[in-house]
Structure 1
Amino acid sequence: VLASTRRDQAAARKFFTAALTHGRRPVEITTDKAPVYPRGLDELLPEACRVDAARENNRIEADHSRLKARLRPMRGLKRLRSAQTISAGHALVQNIRRGHYELTIDTDPHLRLAAAFTELATAI
């Protein structure tokens, strides 16, 4: 997750550089049609296949709907740091629910979040 005041080349490069430090290098990248992505991706991942066709990123945008639903009653966020913190926390919870971490991999999907926080609390 990266919150930025501008959606420019520097922000795109910062996001992709940070994202590439986690896990494997992707073979395929799905983005929207923002004009800043192709150049940044060609520099950082020339071997990856880019997909930016119409409606290909609907799953990604639909994923944002839960975050937007939580923010709507709050009338948005006033500061960039707040947006970054809330978005990163929301992404962490969503990734735990989906089983992207080894934290609760053997747990029933409906109980993953509770098990993860119990495990984290005992570790702390």
Structure 2
Amino acid sequence: VHLSPLLLEGFNRRKRPVTRKWHIDETYVKVRGRWTHLCRAIDSLGDTVEFFFSESRDLLAAERFIRKALNRHGRPDRVVIDGSRTTREAIIACDGESRLRNRSRERLKPISIRQSQYLNNHIEQDHRRIKRRIRPMLGFKSMACAATVLSGIEMVHMMRKQQAR
């Protein structure tokens, strides 16, 4: 438990590049009897792009997740989301910021957002593997413990998908 954040940091340095089409969705995890928010993104090949664990499902948390993914993996061409309005607003806001910060001479096209409940089945099936590991635990006792264990579970999941170089 203590080493999983360090292992994840080392794994992220050796992680393969992701494709330019992302699927973003959120799922819920129980911490101290309350449902908390786990936001995840995968690319078109099924590789994990990024994940983010927070207590609330608001615009601020969605923007932090999108910024984290954009900083680590660059800009995608297309993003597929379900029907979440906060995720859509966060993508638009973070896309505008990244285009303003762009120092190259070429103009960046805005990120294409596709909202479809049925096109996001790929990530819904990917949630299943994470939930299968969490279900026997019957929830977590604290947010810090949940974040650490979830980072370890996500890292093992990425290792099984052979995402490292």
Give the TM-score normalised by structure 2.
0.56
Q: For 2:87, which of 17, 37, 51 is the aligned residue?
A: 37
Q: Partner of 1:70 in structure 2?
A: 133
> For 2:79, what is the secondary structure of its paired residue?
strand
Distance 1:39 1:68 in 2: 27
Structure 1 stretch displaced more, 60-69 or 5-14? 60-69
Structure 1 residues 82 and 58: CA distance shift in structure 2, 3 A = farther
Matched, 1:97 2:150: no
Larger relative contact order (C-alpha < 8 A, sep ≥ 6)? 2
Q: Shift of the alpha carbon at 1:14?
A: 0.6
Q: Partner of 2:121 in structure 1?
A: 58
Structure 1 unaligned blocks of 5 or more: 103-124
Tell me which protein shows more strand as a share of its residues. 2
Per-residue CA deviations over 1:96-123 (Å, capped at 9, x if unaligned) read: 2223221xxxxxxxxxxxxxxxxxxxxx
Distance 1:69 1:96 in 2: 16
Decide whether the 8 Å contact of 2:81 with 2:117 is kept in 1: no
> For 1:2, what is the secondary structure of its paired residue?
strand
Q: Shift of the alpha carbon at 1:43?
A: 1.4
- Give the number of the structure whose alpha-carbon radius of gyration is greater: 1
Structure 1 residues 81 and 32: CA distance shift in structure 2, 3 A = farther
Aligned residue identity for 1:85: T
Task: Provide the identity percentage.
Answer: 29
Q: Shift of the alpha carbon at 1:35?
A: 1.5
Tell me which protein shows more helix as a share of its residues. 1
Structure 1 stretches of at least 4 aligned residues deviating more than 4 Å after TM superposition: none
Give the TM-score normalised by structure 1.
0.73
Distance 2:88 2:163 in 1: 27
> For 2:72, what is the secondary structure of its paired residue?
coil
Aligned residue identity for 1:18: K
Matched, 1:87 2:163: no
Any residues of structure 2 matched to 1:102-113 within 5 Å, and which? 102=165
Q: Partner of 1:110 in structure 2?
A: none
Q: Shift of the alpha carbon at 1:93?
A: 1.7
Structure 2 unaligned blocks of 5 or more: 1-50, 97-109
